[in-house]
């Protein structure tokens, strides 16, 4: 979520193992629609590494669409601070509606884009398009 391997994101209620559902909500004001996702295992407690989950996305924070489902993944690394494999992020329409008065967003590399210049994830050219997006990661 933040590309910092030593940061932890999780549920305090899990304690030393998984009990119950964990929900992580993320709001990304300028996000490019990903093609894939993965995570890095925590520095401790392998029993808390998620193995079953659903990942959802939304363009308004109200209506969510399922991007991925995992049931009992068997290939989660046992090492600590280890990267998992990459799973597909299954984006499907609808294309998000641009905000009424979109402001250009400058991104690393100097490209400037607005929602009108392309579709989520870019338009296939040099311009990358970024959208407000909500993500919800729910363990099952």
- At residue 77, the pLDDT reads 95
Question: Residue 115: helix, strand or coil by DSSP?
Answer: helix
Burial class (CB in 10 A: 0-12, 13-18, 19+), 103: exposed
Question: pLDDT for 27-83, tens place per residue?
Answer: 888 888 888 999 999 888 888 888 999 999 998 888 899 999 999 999 999 999 999
How far is the C-alpha of 40 from the C-alpha of 76, rounded, in Å? Answer: 9
Query: Is pLDDT at 97 greater than 80 in this prediction?
Result: no
How far is the C-alpha of 13 from the C-alpha of 96, rounded, in Å? Answer: 35
As a whole-number percent, the residues of the chain with pLDDT over 70 amount to: 65
Name the nearest CA neighbour of 69 among 57, 84, 86, 52: 52
pTM: 0.71
């Amino acid at each position: 979520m933040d590309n910092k391997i030593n940061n932890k994101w999780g549920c305090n209620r899990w304690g030393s193992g998984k009990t119950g559902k964990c929900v992580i909500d993320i709001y990304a004001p300028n996000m490019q629609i990903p093609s894939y996702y993965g995570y890095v295992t925590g520095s401790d407690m392998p029993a808390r590494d998620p193995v079953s989950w659903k990942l959802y996305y939304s363009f308004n924070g109200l209506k969510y669409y399922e991007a991925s489902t995992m049931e009992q993944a068997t290939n989660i690394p046992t090492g600590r601070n280890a990267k998992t494999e990459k799973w597909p992020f299954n984006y499907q329409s609808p294309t998000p509606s641009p905000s009424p008065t979109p402001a250009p967003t400058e991104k690393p590399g100097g490209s400037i884009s607005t929602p009108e210049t392309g579709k989520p994830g870019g338009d296939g050219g040099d311009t990358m398009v970024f959208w407000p997006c909500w993500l919800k990661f729910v363990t099952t």
